[in-house]
Structure 1
Amino acid sequence: MKKYIPAISTGAIFLIVWEVVAILIDAMYILPSPSSIVKKIWELRDILFTVHLPATFSVIMIGMAISIALGVALAMLMSMHPVIERAFYPLLVASQTIPITALAPLFVLWFGYTIWSKVLVTVLITFFPIAVNVYDGFRSTKRETEELFVTFGASKKDIFLKLRLPSALPYFFSALKIAMPLSVIGAAIGEWLGAQSGLGYFSKRMMTQLDGAGVFAPIVLLSVIAIIFVLIVSLIEKKTTRWRKEV
């Protein structure tokens, strides 16, 4: 618990300063205070937690599931076959040069206001860090160690399952820690540009009403979701990679 004290203290100071500045400015539609945002979340709890939060959560979960499946599969193929690596790795890098906000309206035209237009935005944002990090994880095994496994009669399957896969696990969890917050951002962007429900959509709707606290309320929920996801991934990582402490 002691290790979290600096972060908690810094966060508390930041919120206090924010509260004071918001009171001094006295323009809630521009800079609402933290207390007014919390109050707004409580006032809108029914529609936020029963309508918009589940919609955003569904986009995040589906998008992350697709990104993990495709990203890990492509990383495995690239690590096993240099030809695939040369063919797809440059495309992965090139995909990150495309502004997602420019593509999102096209996704709405293709898929309408269905969940898939938002899922596709989420996948495009999260697929790259997962594929690249896991690929680096598979490549992190030392050639000398692989040769030692071969000397002891290990098959390619044994080398993959007992050497390369464990070596890639830390990279996989690092990728998830990056991708999870990005998935929240991707879902919010997709909802902001074209949706009928979701926290991003609700924030945009509150902006048209010049409701500063209403704009920040779903943003705060999105931040909390991202933090919870990262904490869950960190917990799973500690449980599944205990061997790293012994190395």
Structure 2
Amino acid sequence: MTQLTGAPTGAPAAAPSPAAPARSRTRVRPAVVGLPALGLVIVVTAWWLLTSGLHVIHPAVLPAPQSVWRSLTGSAHVLLPAMGITTWMTVLGFLLSSAAGVLIGMALAASRRVERMFAPLLVAVNAVPKIAFGPLLVVAVGWGQKPILTMVFLLCFFPIVLSTATGLTTTPADLAELGRSLNASWWQTFRKVRFPAALPQIFVGLKVAMPLAAIGAVIGEFYSDRPGLGYQILQYNGIGDFPTAWAAIVLVALMSILLYSALTLLERLTLPWVKATTSAR
């Protein structure tokens, strides 16, 4: 019998080499770590040139990176506990905003009348500069955690609402038709088809809201007695210790990067099928 391939009769089929995925993983890992490190080096170098090298920016406006580093290490006993407080407020406010935002988005997606009634109000609340609510929150809810959590909620909820409503109202037509052909109930269609299909869009809103949660926590601490990073920025700026105030700002940025990376990792673990069913960049 004539063989269709050029391999001899009885020769075993060539198995894919297990070293190929390993080489691919080895190529990706340096890029994942090295490229952000390279970006950080470029930004710090430009920062040093503008402040110490070329003296373009006055130290009172933007201290040199070495001054900020000295202040960070010298005031670590104050700034690191403050970072813990701000991180907890950010995470707690983000979780509350996520729960409320998903529920509101589900309500808007479930009824067109509800969407027409309340969508303009949500847009109006989102359009108001949130810092304008700061002094009013102290009067309305008092001191402590409440003004911080309220500020985080005001900044976070709108992108989560919008992404949830968009995801639930843009279910792929073939999946919706499959549910109808199987005579699935509304709850079965929602649980098995619409909500899973909306999860990638919901995570987009969550990733947009996560940095906003950090901003909201810092702004809320401007009007609170909680000694977080926002409180420290205000205090050190008030006494003219600008390097330490900038050190607190750097810690806010670091906290935001870590929380965003954790959310991205959660998305990859929760939705492994998204990467397999979409085109890779």
Paired amino acid for 1:21:
L
Preserved CA contact (<8 Å) 1:134 1:171: yes
Of residues 33, 39, 49 in structure 1, which corresponds to 2:80?
A: 49
Of residues 187, 190, 194 in structure 1, which corresponds to 2:217?
A: 187
Say if 2:144 is the partner of 1:92. no
- Partner in structure 2 of residue 135 of structure 1: 165
Of residues 176, 182, 187 in structure 2, which corresponds to 1:157?
A: 187
Paired amino acid for 1:119:
L
Calculate the TM-score normalised by the size of structure 1. 0.92
**Unaligned 5+ runs, structure 2:** 1-28
- Partner in structure 1 of residue 31 of structure 2: 3
Query: Residues of 2 paired with 1:98 and 1:78: CA distance?
Result: 21
**Rg comparison, structure with higher value:** 2
**Unaligned 5+ runs, structure 1:** none
The alignment-based identity, stated in percent, is 30
Q: Which deviates more, 96-105 or 144-153?
A: 144-153
Query: Residues of 2 paired with 1:152 and 1:245: CA distance?
Result: 27
Query: Residues of 2 paired with 1:31 and 1:152: CA distance?
Result: 63
The correspondence of residues 61-140 of structure 1 with structure 2, limited to 5 A, is 61-140=91-170
Preserved CA contact (<8 Å) 2:156 2:209: yes
Q: CA RMSD in A?
A: 1.8
- Partner in structure 2 of residue 28 of structure 1: 59
Q: Whose relative contact order is higher, 1 or 2, with alpha carbons under 8 Å and at least 6 apart?
A: 1
Deviation for aligned residue 1:223: 0.5
Preserved CA contact (<8 Å) 2:109 2:165: yes
Preserved CA contact (<8 Å) 2:147 2:223: no
Q: Cα deviations across residues 145-184 of structure 1 (Å, max 9, x unaligned)?
A: 3132121122222211111111111112111111110000
Paired amino acid for 2:79:
L
The correspondence of residues 201-216 of structure 1 with structure 2, limited to 5 A, is 201-216=231-246
Q: Which deviates more, 157-166 or 31-40?
A: 31-40
Relative to its length, the structure with more helix (as a share) is: 1
Query: Residues of 2 paired with 1:212 and 1:27: CA distance?
Result: 11
Secondary structure of the 1:42 match is: helix
